């Protein structure tokens, strides 16, 4: 039997990718930037941890609320569609026909589809939700899990660039190790992320590294500039 291999990356992986890619990049660039302005690693660790705490809460809770909003939005549109198939069924049938007119089906066939579909209100509404409005039913439990996964991934990602500053007391020296370890991790991360989303792995990895390096370089340069170079 013929089997299709379309790309479907799981939602958990998507959340890990979202959290970790920002977690690796932003605390890394912040620490690099501060290394251009202060010499004590202790201060950079404080700033880095404050950033990781702030970023993980903002992203995690942000993800949670976005998920909740999606569920609310879906439910309110669902209610509206149920009302509409009750109150203006002819209008809703015309909308079903419009969908198929768009794909060049004959008027006769459009009518048949609309008639058959309208016999089962639940399926009719399902059809309108999915194909008129483009809305998939969200999983109500996903918001919590998603928040947690994104938040934890951000923390895990953020600890990596910060770790050299925990061990080495001179910021400028720690910066070299932070760059080394983070760019390697960004490369590995970008490689697997690209593999999982069905993109060319090497160029994907390279892109992720470039974003991290650019962000860190720009933050470093800006911090030096503010402090009179």
Residue 63's CB is within 10 A of a number of other CB atoms, namely 23
Give yes or no for residue 59 binding a second copy (CB under 8 A).
yes
Measuring CA to CA, which residue among 63, 40, 48, 30 is closest to residue 152? 63
- Verify binding: residue 57, a second copy, rule CB under 8 A: yes
DSSP 157: H
Q: Which two tokens stand for residue 170?
A: 């001179």
**Is residue 175 within the footprint of a second copy (CB under 8 A)?**
no
Cβ atoms 19, 59 nearer than 8 A: yes
- CB of 181 or CB of 211, closer to a second copy: 211
Among candidate residues 140, 65, 53, 129, the one with its CA nearest the CA of residue 92: 129
Region of 24-32, 137-145, 171-179, 181-189 interacting with a second copy (CB under 8 A): 24-32
Q: Which residues pair with 170 in a beta bridge?
A: 40
The one among 86, 98, 116, 137 contacting a second copy by CB under 8 A: 116
| Interface positions, 134-153, toward a second copy (CB under 8 A) | 134, 136
58 makes contact with a second copy (CB under 8 A): yes
Chosen residue from 13, 14, 43, 74 binding a second copy by CB under 8 A: 43
């Amino acid at each position: 039997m013929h089997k299709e291999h379309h790309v479907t990356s799981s939602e958990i992986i998507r959340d890990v990718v979202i959290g970790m890619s920002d977690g690796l990049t932003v605390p890394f660039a912040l620490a690099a930037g501060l290394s251009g302005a202060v010499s004590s690693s202790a201060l950079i660790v404080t700033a880095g941890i404050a950033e990781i705490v702030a970023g993980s809460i903002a992203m995690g809770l942000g993800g949670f609320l976005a998920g909740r909003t999606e569920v609310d939005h879906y439910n309110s549109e669902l209610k509206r569609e149920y009302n509409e198939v009750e109150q203006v069924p002819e209008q809703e049938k015309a909308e079903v026909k419009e969908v198929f007119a768009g794909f060049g089906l004959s008027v006769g066939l459009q009518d048949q589809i609309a008639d058959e579909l309208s016999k089962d209100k639940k399926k009719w509404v399902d059809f309108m939700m999915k194909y008129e409005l483009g809305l998939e039913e969200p999983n109500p439990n996903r918001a919590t899990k998603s928040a947690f996964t994104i938040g934890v991934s951000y923390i895990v990602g953020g600890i990596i660039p910060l770790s050299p500053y925990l061990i080495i007391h001179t910021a400028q020296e720690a910066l070299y190790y932070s760059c080394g370890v983070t760019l390697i991790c960004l490369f590995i991360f970008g490689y697997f992320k690209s593999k999982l989303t069905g993109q060319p792995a090497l160029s994907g990895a390279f892109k992720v590294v470039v974003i991290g390096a650019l962000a860190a370089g720009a933050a470093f340069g800006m911090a030096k500039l503010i402090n009179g170079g």
